[in-house]
């Protein structure tokens, strides 16, 4: 397989560290630069925790994309920075694999159009874990048979966005097979605001839990006459996401458009 040259944004983060290991341990992957908001001008090997990896660190994505020859950008930063990096990478013909969450519908549409016009592959993956993809697909299947559903997503308390990208994607997939419905008692009232969670435009409730000790977890709970069905996925560590990152980097080399969600590339 051809060597794939990768720029990684966010190498010191929880996901970024795992991605450095993945790139380092994959024969046909090469880390050619990092984007970070500290350590500009250093090599990654000069930063504590990353011996033997001589990729230069840039702060400004534009300078990095101009100076470094790369095939793929992996972005694992923050919602605000991820959006800037992704758009800029497409403009420079570098294919973004984006794990960073927090893109809204309008931003996805804008990127889709940009990717199509530049013929540059983009993968935006709200969740890279294969089990999470299956959980979402199973939920979409179950929604054919159960009209009433609520999503509970549970994450560590360092997470910036709520609801999670996975919960939003799950609700979107369910909405493809379930008619819009306003759930609960027609006259229900929240005596404490937010008690019924956030409601999507199709009437699906999403509840976001943030606690130290958690990593990334989600339950999709369906209710019917005299029965319920709960589909649950748990990521206990960030290594759980790395096979999806690897697959995305390999797949994006043959894409010329935006793909939103790994369910579109996992058979
Ligand atoms: N798709 C998926 O499967 C998954 C997606 N995620 C998403 O990935 C993203 C990262 O998550 P996580 O690793 O837990 O978060 P972290 O907060 O651990 O890491 C984010 C990193 O981005 C860095 N950063 C901030 N600003 C910049 C900048 N201007 N340039 C480059 N780097 C910058 C931060 O630096 P500093 O430390 O200085 O703030 C930090 O090191 C989140 O959006 C999260 O939702 C997470 C897990 C799985
Ligand atoms: O911030 C996280 O940790 C995660 N973010 C993604 C999301 O918002 O769905 C994926 C996973 O749940 C972990």
Q: What is the ipTM of this complex?
A: 0.98
pLDDT at 1 over 80: no
For residue 266, what pLDDT is reported?
Answer: 92
Q: Which of 94, 92, 50, 51 is nearest to 71 (CA)?
A: 94
Q: Tell the residue nearest (CA) to atom 30 of ligand 1.
A: 36
Catalytic residue, from 83, 155, 169, 233: name it: 155
| Stretch among 48-52, 87-91, 261-265 having the lowest mean pLDDT | 48-52
Task: Band the pLDDT of 52: cuts 50, 70, 90.
Answer: confident
Task: Band the pLDDT of 71: cuts 50, 70, 90.
Answer: very high
| Total length of the chain | 267
- How far is the CA of 28 from the CAs of 2, 98, 238, in angstroms? 6, 20, 22
Catalytic residue, from 87, 112, 118, 159: name it: 159
Return d(Cα 260, Cα 108) in angstroms, integer.
8
For residue 51, what pLDDT is reported?
Answer: 81
Structure tokens at 266: 């996992």
Does the model's pTM come out above 0.90?
A: yes
Atom of ligand 2 lying closest to residue 218 CA:
12
pLDDT at 188 over 80: yes
pLDDT at 117 over 80: yes
pLDDT at 219 over 80: yes
Average pLDDT, the chain: 97
185 is catalytic: no
119 is catalytic: no
Return d(Cα 166, Cα 197) in angstroms, integer.
16
Mean pLDDT computed over 166-192? 96
Structure tokens at 107: 């931003």
């Amino acid at each position: 397989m051809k060597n794939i040259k990768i720029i990684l944004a966010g190498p010191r983060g929880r996901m970024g560290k795992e991605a450095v290991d993945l790139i380092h341990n994959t024969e046909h992957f090469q880390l050619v630069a990092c984007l970070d908001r500290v350590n500009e001008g250093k090599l990654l090997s000069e930063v504590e925790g990353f011996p033997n990896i001589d990729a230069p660190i840039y702060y400004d994505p534009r300078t990095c994309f101009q100076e470094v020859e790369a095939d793929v950008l992996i972005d694992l930063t923050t919602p605000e920075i991820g959006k800037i990096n992704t758009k800029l990478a497409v403009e420079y013909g570098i294919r973004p694999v984006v794990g960073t969450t927090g893109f809204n519908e309008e931003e996805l549409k804008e990127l889709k159009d940009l990717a199509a016009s530049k013929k540059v592959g983009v993968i935006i993956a709200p969740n890279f874990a294969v089990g999470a993809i299956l959980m979402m697909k199973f939920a979409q299947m179950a929604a054919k048979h159960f009209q009433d559903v609520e999503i509970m997503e549970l994450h560590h308390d360092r997470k910036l966005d709520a609801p999670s990208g996975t919960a939003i994607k799950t609700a979107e997939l369910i909405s493809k097979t379930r008619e819009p419905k306003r759930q609960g008692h027609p006259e229900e009232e929240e005596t404490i605001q937010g008690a019924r969670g956030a409601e999507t435009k199709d009437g699906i409730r999403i509840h976001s839990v943030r606690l130290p000790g958690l990593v990334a977890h989600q339950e999709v709970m369906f209710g019917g006459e005299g029965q319920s069905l709960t589909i649950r996925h748990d990521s206990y560590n960030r290594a759980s996401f790395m096979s999806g990152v690897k697959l995305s980097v390999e797949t994006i080399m043959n894409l010329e458009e935006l793909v939103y969600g790994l369910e579109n590339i996992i058979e």
